[in-house]
Amino acid sequence: MTDTALAATALGKRFGRRGGWALRDCTFRLPAGRVCAVVGPNGAGKSTLLALAAGLLAPTEGRVTVLGTDPASARTRIAYVAQDKPLYPQLSVAETLLVGADLNPERWDAEAAERIVAAGDLDPGKKIRSLSGGQRTRVALALALAKRPELLLLDEPLADLDPLARHELMGTLMARAAQYGTTIVMSSHVVAELEDSCDHLLLVGAGRVRLAGEIDDLLAAHTRVSALADARTAPADASPVSLPSGSAPGTPSGSPSSPGAAPDLAPHTVVESRVTGRQLTALVRPGGPLADGWRTSAPSLEDLVLAYLRNPQAAPLVPAEAEEAAA
Ligand SMILES: Nc1ncnc2c1ncn2[C@@H]1O[C@H](COP(=O)(O)OP(=O)(O)OP(=O)(O)O)[C@@H](O)[C@H]1O
């Protein structure tokens, strides 16, 4: 038993010798028993990362280990639900579950599989090819959960489910994770839904890990600040601006503030800043006490993720740094 469910060291994947890097220089560690959200824009490398962890792709460089070993050796202990939910179209729902039971004789939880399928009112005799996208997702999740995996890798598992099914299946996932100590790694674009269910975050952008760590630590490492902007910094419309110190987002701010200007943000790291009317707001990683004059508030997970997505040049915050910054 290892306390690390998934670890990557300088992990990189390039498709074809002349292709670009889908993932590059990714180093992070995910403790066992956590529910981890993988977020990032389209094409960021999320599916590639999950497929590498599932052992369906081989790294071009670096290393990925799951449950203390290489992905191929851990295959029976992992379940992976790919974005396109590959199932045999000619089989019925019931036959699909029987195949799952045959392939996983030691661990199969038939009762759980049947319960998940029944909760969607699926006719067990219906062929997979005649199911809707959301119904297929339900069958794929039933197969994955009934395998009682130690690590569950889910690539946008909830994307095609209706709101009630999303809620119900997310509840089932969380209940199983709590009951069996399952580690879940789940990519999603619906950040608001992750706040209550996930405790760890990996934000990937352009093939690199930009944020990694416990969500509480990452939130604690950031602060929203606001103050009245002076005329020098306040354009008429709401738009991203340079801060009073003139720092670029993602870099520690530098020059001193002028008399009457909003307080200086040096030496903090500015992730994003905006001026709306005369109000200047920013999301920063404080590098020490904030000057008097800033009103501060805690960001939500959605605030944090959106700020990094809007500012691809913002400085990354990765494992060791995340813990230090929150201390
Ligand atoms: N089989 C492949 N062959 C060539 N390039 C690929 C292949 N799979 C992915 N890529 C490229 O790798 C990059 C990362 O793709 P990936 O599917 O991992 O992104 P993603 O973050 O999952 O995106 P999305 O949110 O759209 O699902 C993209 O530039 C994509 O074009």
- Per residue of the chain (327 residues), what is the pLDDT tens digit? 569 999 999 999 999 888 889 999 999 999 999 999 999 999 999 999 999 999 999 999 999 999 999 999 999 999 999 988 889 999 999 999 999 999 998 889 999 999 999 999 999 999 999 999 999 999 999 999 999 999 999 999 888 899 999 999 999 999 989 999 999 999 998 888 888 889 999 999 989 999 999 999 999 999 999 988 764 444 444 444 444 433 445 444 433 334 445 567 778 999 999 888 888 899 999 988 888 888 999 999 999 999 999 999 999 998 664 444 444
Any atom of ligand 1 within 6 Å of the Cβ of 84: no
Any atom of ligand 1 within 6 Å of the Cβ of 47: yes
Ligand 1 centroid to residue 155 C-alpha, Å:
12
Ligand 1 centroid to residue 49 C-alpha, Å:
10
Measured N-to-C along each axis, helices 93-103 and 110-119 cross at an angle, to the nearest 10 degrees, of 160
Ligand 1 centroid to residue 59 C-alpha, Å:
14
Tell the residue nearest (CA) to atom 30 of ligand 1.
43
pLDDT score of 275: 87
Ligand 1 centroid to residue 200 C-alpha, Å:
23
Tell the residue nearest (CA) to atom 5 of ligand 1.
15
pLDDT score of 242: 40
Encode the chain in three state secondary structure. Answer: CCCEEEEEEEEEEECCCCCCEEEEEEEEEEECCCEEEEECCCCCCHHHHHHHHHCCCCCCEEEEEECCECCCCCHHHEEEECCCCCCCCCCEHHHHHHHHHHHCCCCCCHHHHHHHHHHCCCCCCCEHHHCCHHHHHHHHHHHHHHCCCCEEEEECCCCCCCHHHHHHHHHHHHHHHHHHCCEEEEECCCHHHCCCCCCEEEEEECCEEEEEEEHHHHHHCCEEEEEECCHHHCCCCCEECCCCCCCCCCCECCCCCCCCCCCCCCCCEEEEEEEECCEEEEEEECCCCCCCCCEEECCCHHHHHHHHHHCCCCCCECHHHHHHHHC
pLDDT score of 263: 67
Q: What atom in ligand 1 is closest to the CA of residue 13?
A: 12
Ligand 1 centroid to residue 165 C-alpha, Å:
27
Any atom of ligand 1 within 6 Å of the Cβ of 205: no
pLDDT score of 1: 55
Any atom of ligand 1 within 6 Å of the Cβ of 157: no
Ligand 1 centroid to residue 312 C-alpha, Å:
18
Ligand 1 centroid to residue 297 C-alpha, Å:
36
pLDDT score of 325: 44
Tell the residue nearest (CA) to atom 11 of ligand 1.
22
Any atom of ligand 1 within 6 Å of the Cβ of 304: no
Any atom of ligand 1 within 6 Å of the Cβ of 12: no
pLDDT score of 17: 82
- Choose the residue to mutate in 13, 23, 42, 48 for probing ligand 1, maximizing ligand atoms within 8 Å of C-beta: 48
Ligand 1 centroid to residue 48 C-alpha, Å:
6
pLDDT score of 251: 43
pLDDT score of 191: 86
Ligand 1 centroid to residue 207 C-alpha, Å:
9
